[in-house]
Amino acid sequence: MIKLKLFAFFLLIGLPHTSFSQFGITHEIGVVAGRVEFRSDYGQRHDTKTNLNNMGFGISFVDYLNFSYTDFVNDYFAEHFKVRNEFSYSKANLQHYGVWVEKNTIPSKQLQAMRGTTQLINLGFQLEYSFLHIHDFEKTIGSFNPYISLGPQVSYYTATATSELGELGNITTTYPKYLVPSDGRPHGYSNESKAVFSVALNLGTRYKLTSMSDLMFDIRAQYFGSDWVDGLNPNEDLFKENKNNDWLTFVGLGYIYYFEH
């Protein structure tokens, strides 16, 4: 599966370069790396310790289609929009934190002992809006160009849920609400690998480093069409606090290289 995704990514880069260059569409490639913060069913909602500790690493390979050198699209579109193709990987280690874990009870100790991991492979595209004219930015070394982008992703996740007390699935090791069947699974936890659709919203800015390269500061919020991405999903009919699908934030630094205009 990973090899298939890698092949699709390099095909994604190669096709625009060969097929679109004849129309004056230029090409930019880059890499962005940083920290991933996973918002999931692990830990207490809106708890600082939960948010700061359920983190991991992420890396994205990006490929931009730049229309500013074409003459067949609207001038405003050409000077403000790019298509951002992206292939990314991330992994986060997950654990319960918050008031329910800090009590000296058997259920609290069961929560304390739970461990989870989520690995994600994403492939998708976004329409990116630049707040400055693209040509003006490209001509000014040392300038900044803020942007915002939005688009769909196909995400393939591998989630694991374990316990330091032993195998999950019995009353000795497992917090009670995770023993209840949920969404077609025998329990409220699952070790599984599946594909899911997601939506990514990116905010950031470019810094013009040289005439042919930029530095990038990038923030992404990604919302998944499933609540199983972290491996936990207590029965929502019984446990009303479990009301949101999983999502993450990514904060990264990147480098973008321009092909010859």
How big is the CA angle at 65 (ends 17 and 38), to the nearest 5 degrees? 115
- 23: enclosing H helix or E strand: none
Strand partners, 222: 200, 248
- 151-199 residue pLDDT tens: 999 999 999 999 999 999 999 999 999 999 999 999 999 999 999 999 9
Cα–Cα nearest to 218, from 249, 251, 247:
251
- Residue 90, judged by CB atoms within 10 A of its CB (0-12, 13-18, 19+), counts as buried
Q: What is the pTM of this model?
A: 0.86
Contact status, residue 91 vs residue 118, Cβ threshold 8 Å? yes
Rounded CA separation 200/6 (Å): 20
Average pLDDT of span 206-227: 96
- 67-96 residue pLDDT tens: 877 777 788 988 999 999 999 999 999 999
Rounded CA separation 246/261 (Å): 41
Rounded CA separation 14/59 (Å): 20
Contact status, residue 87 vs residue 58, Cβ threshold 8 Å? no
Any idea which of 8-22, 52-66, 196-210, 238-252 has the lowest mean pLDDT? 8-22
Mapping DSSP to helix (H, G, I), strand (E, B) and coil, where does residue 155 land? strand
Rounded CA separation 198/124 (Å): 9
